[in-house]
Amino acid sequence: MTIEGDPVSLADMLESHRSGELTPDQTIARTYKRIRAYGDPAVFITLRDEQEARAEAAALDANAGNLPLCGVPIAIKDNIDVAGMPTTAGCPAFAYQPKQDSAVVARLRAAGAIVIGKTNLDQFATGLVGTRSPYGVPRNPLRGDLIPGGSSSGSATAVAAGLVPVSLGTDTAGSGRVPAMFNNIVGLKPSLGLVSIAGIVPACRTLDCISIFSLTVDDAWSVLRVIAGFDLEDAFSRDIGFSPPEASFGNARLGILAEKDREFFADNDAAAAYESALQRARDLGARLVEFDYAPFAETARLLYEGPWIAERWSVIKELASRDPDAIHPITRMVVEPGESYSAVETFRALYRLAELRVRTRPIWNEIDALLLPTAPRTYTIAEAAADNVRLNSRLGTYTNFVNLLDLCGVAVPSELTADRRPLGVTFLAPCGCDGYATALARSFQAASYLPLGAGKAPMLAPRSFGDRAELQTEGMINIALFGAHMRGLPLNRDVVRLGGKFLRTVKTAPRYRCFLLQGAIPRPGVLRVEKGGAAIEAELWAMSADSFGRFVASIPSPLGFGTIFLADGTQVSGFLVEAIATANARDITHFGGWRSFLAENAAA
C-alpha cells in the first residue's frame, strides 16, 4: 500500500477546481490512481469503469464554478441504488440491476458529483463490526488489525484512506456513526425523513436514514445541503426545516453520562478519551449536565430484542426460504428470530417505545444536546471473529436508541491513542436540530487538532460553511486581547476610547506559549509555537477599521499584531510577541491566561 499525500477534503478539492489548479477529469484520474495504490479489493463491491467516470467529469469542466459538488468523486454504500451498477446489499444472490438512481444519488449527480463505485457493507446493513460480508473485510487504514466498523464499512474506509473525500452510508442502529469512529472521520446522521430513502434496500424501513461520511464536519454539511429535502416518492419523507449551523459552545448545555452509566468494557484508553472530550467541551465554554440514561439504554435494547428485528427479516424472508445458505450465517442467526414476532408483541413494544419517548422528553428541557462516546471501545478483527455477536452488540451501546427516539447526530473524532486506535464522540439533538448538532461538532473537531482520516498532518482551521457568515461583527474587525487591555485592567480605557465593543471571553487553539514581559506595566507576550503549545484565555473585542489602524499604531515593540487561531476554529487578529523578546522572559503558560496569573500573584 503506497499512497502519496494525506486525504484531501471536499472543500480543498472544490477550491482546486474553481481556481483551475485541477480539472474534475484530473481529479477523477487521481482518484483511480489512489484506489490502485491502496490495493484493497474489499472496499468496493463494484468499481465504475475509469474512462466512463472521467468522461462524465470532463463534461463538467465548463461548469466547475456553478455546481456545489462539481467533479467530486463519491462512493455509495451498496444498498443504495445507482443506475448502471448492481445493488447487492452485500449478498450476491440478492443482487439486482436498478432501473434508475435512488433519489439521493440523483441529487448528488445533479450537483456535479461523480459516482465512482458501490462500497462493501455488513450484509443487509445488519452489523456494526464491518466483518459480515462475503466480499471480504475492508482494511482499516489506520491499523490493519482493527475492524473497520459497520455496517457502512467500505464507505468509511474509502474516506479515511483518502480514496474519496465523501461517501454515503446508511444508519439504522449506528451504521453511519460507529464506522466513523473506527476510521477517524466524521459521520453525519440526519433527522429521520430529512433525506429521501427512496431507492435503498431497507434494513428497518421505519428507522432507516442515509448518512454522510467525510473528513470534516464542514464537508458533511455541504453534502447534506445538496441531498436534503422532501420527496413524494418516499413514504417516510418529512418536510423538516433545519437551520444553518450557527450555534456556539458558549451557551450550550450538554448532557453527559454519569459515572455509573459509563461503560467502556475494560478499555481504559476509551474511558480516558471520553473524559478528555468532556474537558475539551468545558474549555470551549459548554456547561455539562449529567442526565438519566436509563430510558435511553432501555430504548437501545428494544432495537434487537424487540419486533424491529421482524422488519429486517421481512427484507430477506423470501431469499432465506428459497436459498438460506446465500445469507451470511451470522446475519441469518441475528435476523431469523424476527419471523416469530406476533402482532401482539409488536404493539406492546410500540406502546413501550411511546412511554420511553415521553420519559426522555423532559430531559431536553435541561439540555440542548447529548455528548456521548460514539462507541464504547475499539476491537480487532481477531476479537470480532472470536465473539462476533456479543462484541457487535457492545458497539451499539450508545447508538441503538437514536433513531427509535427520533434524534439526529454527528460523530466526530476525539482522540488517537499512542498505538493509533481512533476514538470518538457524537453530538445528538432532537429531530430538526441538525444544524445545531453540526455546529457543536464543527467547533469540537476544530479544537481537536487530529489528522484527517488516516493522514498524518493535523487539521488546521476549517473553512467556513457555505451559508455561514464569518465570525465578524458588522463593519468591524475582531481582535483578541490577552493582557492589560482587557476589561477592568489599566489599558482597557484605550480600547473603549477607540469605540471597542466587548464580545465575549474566548480561548485560543492549543498552539501558543505565554511569557511575562517586564515594563512600566507588566504584560503577557503570546507566542505561536509549532510544538508544546497550550490554549490561552483572551477577550474578543470588535473595532472599526479606522480605530483598529490607530490601535495597531499605538502598540510598541516587541508586541505586534498577527493571526490568532481560536479554539472553535475561527481566526481573528490579536497580539503576538516577537520570539527574541521571550528568550529570558518567564514562561507563564501554565496559568492559562493573564487574569489567572494576576489572581495567583495577588493571592501570593
- Of the residues 102, 152, 175, 414, which is catalytic? 175
- The shares of helix, strand and coil residues in the chain, as percent rounded to the nearest 5, are 35, 20, 40
Short-list 531, 498, 533, 494, CA closest to 513:
533
User: Cis (ω within 30 of 0) for the bond into 202?
Assistant: no
Three-class SS state of 506: strand
Phi and psi dihedrals of 484, rounded to 5?
A: -65, -10
> CB neighbours of 240 closer than 8 A, spacing ≥ 6?
191, 193, 194, 431, 432
Active site residue 507: no
Contact indicator for 507, 279 with CB cutoff of 8 Å: no
- Through-space distance between the first and last CA atoms of the chain, rounded to whole angstroms: 59
- Of the residues 9, 16, 133, 151, which is catalytic? 151
Contact indicator for 186, 410 with CB cutoff of 8 Å: yes
Rounded distance between C-alpha atoms, residue 50 and residue 48, angstroms: 6
User: Cis (ω within 30 of 0) for the bond into 544?
Assistant: no
Question: How buried is residue 562: exposed, middle or buried, by Cβ count under 10 Å (0-12/13-18/19+)?
Answer: exposed
Task: Find the helix or strand (DSSP H, E) in which 429 lies.
Answer: strand 422-430
Tell me the C-alpha to C-alpha distance, in Å, between residue 297 and each of 232, 302, 360, 380.
Answer: 34, 9, 11, 25
Contact indicator for 129, 395 with CB cutoff of 8 Å: yes
Residue type, 116: I
Short-list 411, 21, 107, CA closest to 8:
21
**Cell 516587541 appears where?**
558
Active site residue 77: yes
Strands (E), 21-122: 44-47, 73-77, 114-119
**How many whole angstroms from its chain centre is CA 374?**
10
Q: What angle do CA 113, 199, 392 make, to 5 degrees?
A: 95
Phi and psi dihedrals of 463, rounded to 5?
A: -70, 160
State the helix-helix crossing angle for 434-448 and 268-283, rounded to 10 degrees: 100
Active site residue 151: yes
State the DSSP code for 451.
Answer: B
- Of the residues 16, 77, 133, 214, which is catalytic? 77
Contact indicator for 307, 206 with CB cutoff of 8 Å: no
Three-class SS state of 407: strand
Short-list 391, 459, 405, CA closest to 9:
459
Contact indicator for 516, 588 with CB cutoff of 8 Å: yes
C-beta neighbour count of 318 within 10 angstroms: 10
Contact indicator for 179, 148 with CB cutoff of 8 Å: yes
Task: Point out the residues that are catalytic.
Answer: 77, 151, 175
